[in-house]
Structures are given as C-alpha cells and as structure tokens.
Structure 1
Amino acid sequence: MPVDQIPIGTFSRITHLSQKALRLYDERGLLAPAARDICTGYRYYTFAQVERGIRIRHLLWLGFSLSEVEVILDARERGDAGTIRDLFRARLAATEQEAGRLHAIAEVLRAQDPLNGGFRMSVTEPVIKEVPALRVLSRRERGVYQETIPRLIGELCACIYPAEGRQPAARAAGPIMFVCHDEEYRETDADIEMAIPITGSVNLEGTAVEVRTLPGGRFVSVLYTGHYPGVGKAYERLFAYMGEHRLLAAGPSRELYLNNPHEVPEDELLTEIQYPVQEIPPSA
C-alpha cells in the first residue's frame, strides 16, 4: 500500500464519517476512494481527500441534505459563490424557523401542566350562532402552515396598516381568520386561506390580495383560550357536540384570532373556532 493511501477505517476516524456513510458517498460519487483493492474491493483514500471529508461532515452538521451538499461542493469547485450563498440563506431561514418552534415547545414544557398535555387551556361550551356573510380581504395559497400563515397575514396587514405615508387599501371590520379548506392535515401542501373582514372602499392595485365574500349561515362556535398548538382540544369538543346534536359539517372551518400574540402571553391567546353545520336528516 502506497504511503499516501489511507484505509477506510483510518479515514473514518480522521473525518468522523462512518464507514457506512463513506460507502454511500462513494456510491453517490460525492467522495469516491482514490484506490480500491482489486481482490477485496477494500477502499483507500488519500490525505488530500481529508479536507473534502471534513467539509462534507460540517455541511451535514449544519443541516444540509446530501443533495444540497453535492450542489454546494460542485458550486465551490466552479467558484459559484451565488449558489452557495442562496443555499446558506435558505438553510438559515429554516433553522431560525425551527428554533422558534423549539422555543415555543420549551415554553409549553415550562408550564408543567401534565394533565392537559403541557398546555394551560380552556374551551367554552359550544353554541349555535347565525353568522352573516362577510366581505373579506383574502390570500389563499398551498404551503407549509408555519411558513405560509405568517407570510399571508403579513401581506393582508400591509393592506390594512401600510407603511408610513401610504393610504390603507381597506378598513378592517373584524379579526384575522384562517379558513381551512382541507379535509385532512397536510404536511407540505396545505390549502391555506387567511382573511380579514373589511368595510368601505378598497384599492388593491399592485397586490396579490383579493376581495371575496365568505358565505354566512348556521355555525357551531367555541372559544378556546391557550397556546395555538393546543387548539385541537377545541375541535374535539366541537365535533363531540355535533355528534350529540346530529349535525354535519357543511363547509370549511374558520379560526378567528381575537387577540394579538405579540401583546398577550401564549396561554391567554383567544381563538374562536366556527364550523358551518347542517342537521342530519331524520331518516339517516
């Protein structure tokens, strides 16, 4: 064996990459051994490959996928700083989003309320109410809840509360609401609509926001107080009530956010859940 050839086991110890990982990187062409024993197939690396191995491990530690690592290393060889910068910017945004989620989890765990699964919450008794048709500003997209909802809220609020010196595009007449059009939870392509009831004239020139009318009708409503992730408890109570009173869902549910998460503690957030309903026919 030449002096500059390193057995896979030693290379693994130097780079802190497992032999299983090294074999995978070889198959993908990400880090191929410099030599291979003809009889045994045993892999050998060189000292010059140590830097690439360490760089791969570092990028994986930062949270990049193997595919992204391949793109970054290829861009580095080509001197394409723009591609690398874009990937690092996207990774930073995803990391900050995840950090926010973990912070919220930590706050819930600090509440130490095991009987309620870590949440301090309350749910009112459901009531039937007649809801009028609502003229709203609306933005609807498919995406991930944690990213899409705050972005769409920001676009709507920019119409109601524009930057200094600009005229509002419309006047709010009610709280921000989320309209759920999906029949099941979707991880990455949820059908998300955010809306704000409005009154008066509207000028939406140059925006992606639209005006539409949400239908009115008979709704079951509950008020939920607590962290947003625990709102499922309110839906549980609402559906139990619908079953007890022979009611069927007659359209998408709505969540109305009645106070500002920047102004009150998370366990004091107030959300109204509304579900349009119809009675089950007696013969059913």
Structure 2
Amino acid sequence: MSVDQIPIGKFSFMTRLSQKALRLYDRKGLLVPEAKDPFTGYRYYTVPQLEKGMKIKTLSFLGFSLEEISMLLDAESTGNYEQMGACFRKKLEETQSEIWKLQRIEGILQGACKHNGKIVEIFKMSVTEPVIKEIPEIRVVSKREKGTFAVTIGKLIGEICACVDSPENQRNRIKVTGPVMFLCHDEEYKETDADIEIAIPVSGRILVEDPKMEIKAIPAARVVSIIYRGPYLGVEAGYNRVFSYAEENNLEPFGPSRELYFNDPAEVPEEELMTEVQVQIREK
C-alpha cells in the first residue's frame, strides 16, 4: 500500500459513506477504488477521490438516483452545465411538489389530532348552496402552460403579479379588478402535464414583455357557482356539489372550469381559505 492509498474503512469514516454504499458504488462504476489487493480484494482509495465521494453523498442526499448521479458527474467532467442545470431544475420541481403534498398531509393530520381522529370531522367541508350566475366578459392578463398543480399555479401567479407590479405598469396606474383565477383546460385530472391557465383581471394600459403572457377577454358565461371554505386539498367537495346540482337540474357542464381565490394561503390558515368554483353550464 502506497502512502496516498486510503483503506476502505478510513475512507468510509472520512466521507461518512458506509462501506456497503462504497461497495455498491464500486459495482456500479460510480466510485471505483484506485487499487485493490489482488489476494484479499481489499479496496484502497486516494485523496482526490474524497471530493468525488462527498459529491456523491450530497447528490444522494438531494434525492438523485445512482443513474442521475452518474450522469451529473459525467456532465460536470465534460463541462455540460446546461444538462446539469436541467437536471437540478427537474429535481427542484419534484421536491416542491412533494413539499406541497406533505403540507397537505400535515394539515389533515393536525385536523385529525384536534378531532380525536374522527374521520367525518376531518373531512367536513364548508360548501355553500349552488347558484346560477351570469358572469360578464372579463379583461385579464393571463399565462398558460403545462405542469403540476403544486408548482405551476404558484409559479404563474408570481410571474403575472410581477408583471402587474412592474414600475412601468405601476406608472400607468394598472389596477387589479378581481381575484386571481385558475382555468383548468383538461377534461380529466392529471398529476403531471396539466393544462393550467392563470388569469388576473386588470384595467388600464398594461405592458407585457413575456411572449407567453397575453392580455385578453375571457368570454361572458353562465355558470353554476359555489363558495368553498377550507384547504385547497378538499376543493373537490365543491366540484362534487356543482356537478350534482347540474345533474339534478338537467344542465350540462362544459368548457374550462374556473377557480377564484379570494385570499392568500401565506396570510390566512388553511381552514379559512376561500375559493369560488365556477362551472359553465347549458341546457341539455
């Protein structure tokens, strides 16, 4: 053994990677020891491999698979930082989606603790009686793209608000004339690749620099409307009430549904969130 060779036990201690993990990385070709004893098969590493070991440990902690780690290390070695950036952005979106899911789970479990685990109380939703409304044409600034609900809705709201609040648009005295609106263009629920449009009603002359953002008029519509109070996770209770009402009254839902958000989840508890669900209807 030369002086710069590090036995697997010591290398494991220095990198905080278990010997089991190091043997796996060896088999996968991810972190191959610089030398192996031909008689004992004992593995020896070198000082330069410490940095690679720490990179693997960090990427593994961030949730990357061994295949993704291998790709990232190869991309780094060849200077392909664009590929690395795309991989990190994808992982960020997945993480944000998981955080959103865990926050919803946390809210439900907190409710379960408050109500001693009574299932009926946990899922008790506040939904108003359905009403038919005539909604006039609405001028909005909107942006539409595909993605997950947890990430894309918040992202689009932030981008549109940034546009409205830009110094030039504020000098033009742009006014927001209604709540943030989510329009769902899908005919079925999609975990990913959902067709999402966010629109904010505005008045005044507005400058839009984002080519994917537009000023347009959302057509007038006759809708069945309910107000739902509670976590966004339970808004399905509102849709259930709307579609039941439509069926009972021989009405046919069609077109994109709308959700109007009357308060901010960053400012009020989940149980106080107010969402209006609007579904366009016509006589069967």
The normalised TM-score by structure 2 is 0.75
CA contact (8 A) 1:120 1:267 kept: no
Measured after TM superposition, the shift of residue 172 of structure 1 is 1.9
Which of 127, 139, 163 is matched with 1:159 structurally? Answer: 163
Give the equivalent residue in structure 1 for 2:110: 110
Measured after TM superposition, the shift of residue 77 of structure 1 is 4.6
Q: Which moved more, 1:225-234 or 1:138-147?
A: 138-147
Which of 196, 203, 207 is matched with 2:206 structurally? Answer: 203
Q: Are residue 138 (structure 1) and residue 145 (structure 2) matched? A: no
CA contact (8 A) 2:34 2:46 kept: no
- Structure 2: gaps of 5 or more residues: none
Partner Cα separation in structure 2 for residue 117 and residue 27 of structure 1: 52
CA contact (8 A) 1:121 1:267 kept: no
Trace 1:66-215 onto structure 2 (pairs within 5 A).
Answer: 66-75=66-75, 77=77, 80=79, 86=85, 90=89, 95=95, 98-99=98-99, 101-112=101-112, 113=115, 114-116=118-120, 118-119=122-123, 121-163=125-167, 166-168=170-172, 170-199=174-203, 201-208=204-211, 209-215=213-219
Measured after TM superposition, the shift of residue 221 of structure 1 is 0.8
Number of residue pairs matched?
271
Distance change (3 Å), C-alpha of 1:167 and 1:89 = farther
Q: CA RMSD in A?
A: 4.1
Q: Which moved more, 1:254-263 or 1:86-95?
A: 86-95
Which of 214, 236, 243 is matched with 1:232 structurally? Answer: 236
- Structure 1: gaps of 5 or more residues: 37-42
Give the equivalent residue in structure 1 for 2:248: 244
Equivalent residue of 1:68, what SS? Answer: helix
Give the equivalent residue in structure 2 for 1:62: 62
Give the equivalent residue in structure 2 for 1:217: 221
Partner Cα separation in structure 1 for residue 58 and residue 209 of structure 2: 43
Partner Cα separation in structure 2 for residue 235 and residue 136 of structure 1: 24
CA contact (8 A) 1:255 1:272 kept: yes
Distance change (3 Å), C-alpha of 1:84 and 1:118 = farther
Partner Cα separation in structure 2 for residue 271 and residue 123 of structure 1: 10
Partner Cα separation in structure 1 for residue 245 and residue 42 of structure 2: 68
Distance change (3 Å), C-alpha of 1:135 and 1:76 = closer
CA contact (8 A) 1:137 1:210 kept: yes
Equivalent residue of 2:153, what SS? Answer: helix
CA contact (8 A) 1:162 1:168 kept: no
The normalised TM-score by structure 1 is 0.75
Equivalent residue of 1:271, what SS? Answer: strand
CA contact (8 A) 1:142 1:190 kept: yes
